[in-house]
Amino acid sequence: MSFNDALISLAGLENLIGVGDYLSIRHNVELTGLDALTNLASVGGVVVESNSALTNLGGLENISTIADYLRVESNAALVGLDGVDNLTSVGNLAIEDNNVLVSLDGLQSLTTVSGSVYIRYNDSLCQSLIYAFGEGVTVGGNAEIEENDESC
């Protein structure tokens, strides 16, 4: 679901329970929520990128494992990651360039990243919160934490 300027919701996808490959939600400037995805329990990877009106990830609560990556990037109104509260394991994690993101609270159940973690360029995300989050997560690859709010 990409580059659809008129898309405001994902209504009609309420019965979707699995995606074998990647769920890509990109460049939908009017999309306000992912609530229609509440039955989605299995997915290979998730990309949520450049959705200007999206404020959280509500709707992804039933996903506990993502084999490949969770990438949340350049969502101008995203203030929190609420919605991935039950995610415990992911292949790679990238949280990048979300200018008003202030919290990683939605990731409180995450314990394992088998690959790499990239949390960078989030202007409002306090660097110390990222370090506190990382204390409870085992990372199998690289961790690049940079260019976040270092003033707090």
- Which residues, including other chains, have CB under 8 Å from residue 97's CB and lie 6 or more apart? 73, 74, 120, 121, 122
Q: What is the mean pLDDT of the chain?
A: 96
User: Percent of the chain scored above 90 by pLDDT?
Assistant: 96
pLDDT in tens, 130-141: 999 999 999 999
Q: Set out the domains of the chain in order of their start, with CATH numbers.
A: 18-145 (3.80.20.20)
pLDDT in tens, 34-59: 999 999 999 999 999 999 999 999 99
pLDDT in tens, 78-126: 999 999 999 999 999 999 999 999 999 999 999 999 999 999 999 999 9
How far is residue 150 from each of residues 72, 73, 119, 129, measured CA to CA in Å?
20, 19, 13, 10
pLDDT at 1 over 90: no
